[in-house]
Amino acid sequence: MLWLDVLELGSVVPPFGSLSFLLLFPVATHFGLRQPGELLLPLILAMLAAYLGAFLERRLRIHENCLTDRVASWCAGDGLAPAAAVARVALLRAVLQLLLYALCYALLFCLLAVLTAHQLLPQLLLLSWSMLYAAALMGAVLSLRTRRTYLVLIGSLGTLALLIWAGKHGLV
């Protein structure tokens, strides 16, 4: 599971987890966001940027599929050499990812600057690190995409709701 986001194999393009980290870490450091309740909004926005990165990567792969025929015709003597195709796609991908990072960082930084200047950044004091960790673990389970994992999710949410209800009624 560790290498799913590092090596993209086949047609599956996972969310860009490294993009999320590279967006969130400097912003959190700059604005002094250290508590989970303060980090929730920037974390969600960084995750959306990771999904945007995956979407753009899929679009780039579809766009660059035209090179397959040009590289195949290279064998016949007229076409694009494989090394040139790889260099072209690698350079284009690097430039697009740099632009995506710069755009997402600028938007996230400006939004947080405005929210903190007006003291409108949500401060969810009830949110703890263990809650975020549990949510991340649930996301890891759901990434398996099997029927059994969805049953685990529904069972966990039902158990959580039952515990909250029992706690409110003094049963626990």
51-108 pLDDT, tens digit each: 899 899 889 888 888 888 888 888 888 878 888 888 888 899 999 999 999 999 999 9
Do 45 and 52 contact (CB within 8 A), yes or no?
Answer: no
Q: Compute the residue count for the chain.
A: 172
Q: Return the H-helix or E-strand segment holding 82.
A: helix 82-117
**55: its two tokens:** 């979407």
Q: pTM for the full model? A: 0.72
Q: Which of 141, 103, 132 is nearest to 40 (CA)?
A: 132
Q: Which of 93, 67, 88 is nearest to 79 (CA)?
A: 67
pLDDT of residue 169: 81
Q: If you compute the radius of gyration of the chain from its CA atoms, what whole number of angstroms results?
A: 22
| CB neighbourhood size of 19 (10 A) | 23
For tokens 């969805």, the residue is 150
Rounded Cα gap, residues 127 and 133, in angstroms: 11
Rounded Cα gap, residues 4 and 25, in angstroms: 21
Instruction: Find the DSSP H helices in 8-65.
Output: 17-31, 36-64
Rounded Cα gap, residues 44 and 77, in angstroms: 50
pLDDT of residue 103: 97
At 49, the pLDDT band (50, 70, 90 cuts) reads very high
| CB neighbourhood size of 85 (10 A) | 17
